[in-house]
Amino acid sequence: MRIKPLLLVISALPAPAQTFAASPKETFYYNIEWRLITAGKAKLEWFSAPRDGAQINLRVESVGMVSKLFKVEDDYIANLGAGMCAQSALITTHEGSRARETRITFDYASHRADYLERDRVKNSVLLAKETDIPPCVHDVGGGLLLLRTLNLEPGQSAQVPMSDGKKSAMVKVEAQQREDVKTPAGAFKTIRYEAYLFNNVLYRRPARLFIWLTDDQHKLPVQIRVRMQLTIGTITLQLEKHE
């Protein structure tokens, strides 16, 4: 099993929700379920940064039988500027026998993203690419943080400019319905959202991405689910603890 850092025109965005209350630092701990077993753990951190920016850290590790079969240790660090626009990202992955490092820099003066992926075992370049970007674009982690600020009621949607460094796209984010969700951290009243990242939008892989945020001023991401084809199955992150 490979666990990738999941997740998500400015003029098309609705006004930020006035009730959202961001904290200077937040830490979320998740249990990762795959094929009805606990396959991994994830730790997601958000830090406020100078000049209205932020830093996002994500650590994903496989556990138990899955880790014995296919060990996963992935780290994702992203720096955001004003408006949560992506500035840079560093991704280091250790998945099975593969070890890679990816650096992404978003250069708004030149309207491009520079992507460099290296094989850490062979010390070789796997892919170097430049991609055109709009005046503000969001990485997947920043897209999730942005979603918490949007005042989307069920039935409403927004278009969000996003990039993984290799491709940029306008991604539809849709608020679908209110649901009660139970996780190891407790029971929550939530709104379920779908982010249309897959199926040749930003990623080619056929899949669906759902995010459950609490239906209150905190907008806590208590559950994240990626549904893929039957051969891979569904991966679900459920909140265990929030600090």
Give 24-69 pLDDT, tens digit per residue. 899 999 999 998 899 999 999 998 866 678 999 999 999 998 898 8
Q: Fold for domain 26-242?
A: outer membrane lipoprotein receptor (LolB), chain A (2.50.20)
The DSSP output letter for 64 is: H
Confidence of residue 231 (pLDDT cuts 50, 70, 90): confident
pTM of the model: 0.88
Determine contact, residues 193/210, Cβ cutoff 8 Å: yes
Task: With CA atoms as reference, report the closest residue to 156 among 3, 13, 7, 11.
Answer: 13
CA nearest neighbour of 10 among 110, 150, 131: 150
pLDDT at 7: 34
Query: Is the pLDDT assigned to residue 75 strictly greater than 60?
Result: yes
CA 198, CA 207: separation in Å to the nearest integer? 6
Q: In the chain, pLDDT over 70 holds for what percent of residues?
A: 89
Pair 111, 163: CB distance under 8 Å: no
Tokens standing for residue 95? 């998945």
What are the residue ranges spanned by the domains of the chain? 26-242
Query: What's the whole-number mean pLDDT along residues 151-178?
Result: 96
pLDDT of residue 6: 39
Q: What is the pLDDT of residue 222?
A: 98
Question: Predicted confidence band at 132 (pLDDT cuts at 50, 70, 90)?
Answer: very high
